Amino acid sequence: MSAMDVPADGGSGRATATSTAAPAAVSAPRLTWLTLALMTTSSVASLRAAPTMAVYGLACVFLYLVPAIVFLLPTALVSAELASGWNGGVYNWVSQGLSKPLGFLAVWCQFAMTIFYYPSLLAYVASTIAYVINPALADNGLYTAIVIMVLYWTGVWVSARGTGAVAGLASWGLVIGTLIPGALLVVLGMVFLGQGNPSAAPMNAAHLFPQWTGIASLVLIVNNFLSYSGMEMNAVHVSSLKNPAKEFPKSMFLAMGLVLLIFILPALAISWVVPADQLSLTAGVMQAFDAFFQYFHVGWLTPVIAVGLVAASLGGMLTWLAGPSKGLLLISRQEGYLPPFLQRLNAHGVQQNILVTQGVVTTVIALMYAFIPNVSSAYWIFSVITTQVYLIVYLLMFVAAIRLRRTQPDHPRGYRAPALVALCVTGLLASAAAMVIGFVPSSQFSGGSVWSYVLFVAAGLLVLGLVIPFAFLKLRKPSWRQPQAAAAEGGAA
């Protein structure tokens, strides 16, 4: 999830402070660099993207390493400096470095990307459930649409009651839905190969790099950018380290290594047993487990694994329902970015109107699964739109970091990123290139017209990432501001 799966705090959008002061060091609980590395790993790592990379076999190692170097590392180190100097998450970083409207754009994109994130996550859940009921349903668009709508609205109903019962489910997500299934997948794969069975994908040096089929070969790297998103969320803990300047880089390098292992090894294991031309982007994990379990004559374990994967994914969804929308609410009350209707809370103090409005859009998107012939193609399109919208956040963050280093060089920072400008330029170029390449259909896309794909992705990016936030900024009125309510809500949070 990447971070999009089970972030510990629901996303940096949860941050409520808008002050420009550096975070206070008083009574801050200490973290070891090892603890922070594990926290970061749990926020970022996920099995959901494994089938996407398994299609490329051994080349998935290259496809994961490139975005790790040019995107993951700059994001981690730059966000650490920003978090150690300014409270309030990405909204305050961009507001201080650039402007408040652009700060709103950043936090809006953090929220808006979830509109396409939920359908893609729940499509994965639907395909996993299908392997318990009827594997043929995994490629049925109508079934997928119905599951997405039922699970999303159930999540809204639970979240609207302000229950804390899902906290345990979300916190166990790394173990239940990632570590145990991932380790089991790799062990089964190694035993499978050790018994002399041939790999479904070639595992020799000639296949270390993806086969070049034009610029479309680069598109898979774009999707991996989103797999690594979320490092900026854990950067807020940098001030809790004893020696941030030395311990934070060490923590991030360890986390990066662990995340790469969790991403790469399960993807390879899937490629060993499921041929690329038979692999579903949504059901690939369960396809591999089912193949292994059938081979080892323990098919009864298939529904057990499915339950674990579903539980972890639903826990992550419930966490994300609460986080970004809460952050958007607090900032909008403070500055008047959203109309009063979207700022109202229900009897449980939950931003129900935002969740319901988002649910209406999610329902429309879910229905598209019923009309796009290939479920994997729909999943891919929505994953790309999610990435495109979220990349806006990172573009703004990197520019703001350069500006803050130049305009506020003496502002207290608990950690100063080495070669910050070089890191930011690298991250900027990588993010911009990823956004451009995202408009090129991958070789995995088989949904029809290339121009239809480009127009669909462009429309999603423009409407969600620019038109809607611009409309809110242009239409807002002074009466929409509720700073007292925002302060009270922030204190309660």
- CA 297 remoteness from chain centre: 35
Q: What is the pLDDT of residue 4?
A: 39
- The pLDDT score that the predictor gives to residue 177 is 72
| 168-227 pLDDT, tens digit each | 455 566 677 777 888 899 999 999 999 989 988 888 777 777 776 656 556 656 667 767
Residues 6+ apart with CB under 8 A from 146: none
Give, in order, the Cα–Cα distances in Å from 14 to each of 7, 8, 26, 293: 11, 11, 21, 41
CA distance 351 to 364: 21
How much helix, strand and coil, in percent to the nearest 5, is found in the chain? 75, 0, 25
CB 16 within 8 A of CB 493: yes
Q: What is the pLDDT of residue 445?
A: 57
- Phi and psi at 372, nearest 5°, equal -90, 120
* H-helix segments, 73-99: 73-85, 89-97
Average pLDDT across each block of 10 residues of the chain; the chain has 493 residues. List them in order: 38 36 48 81 76 83 86 87 81 92 90 80 87 82 88 82 52 69 90 90 77 62 70 70 81 84 90 85 84 90 85 74 75 85 78 85 82 69 82 94 94 88 94 84 64 84 89 87 61 47
For residue 147, which phi and psi values (nearest 5 degrees)?
-65, -45
C-alpha atoms less than 13 angstroms from C-alpha of 438 in its C-beta half-sphere: 32
Whole-number Å distance between alpha carbons of 128 and 126: 5
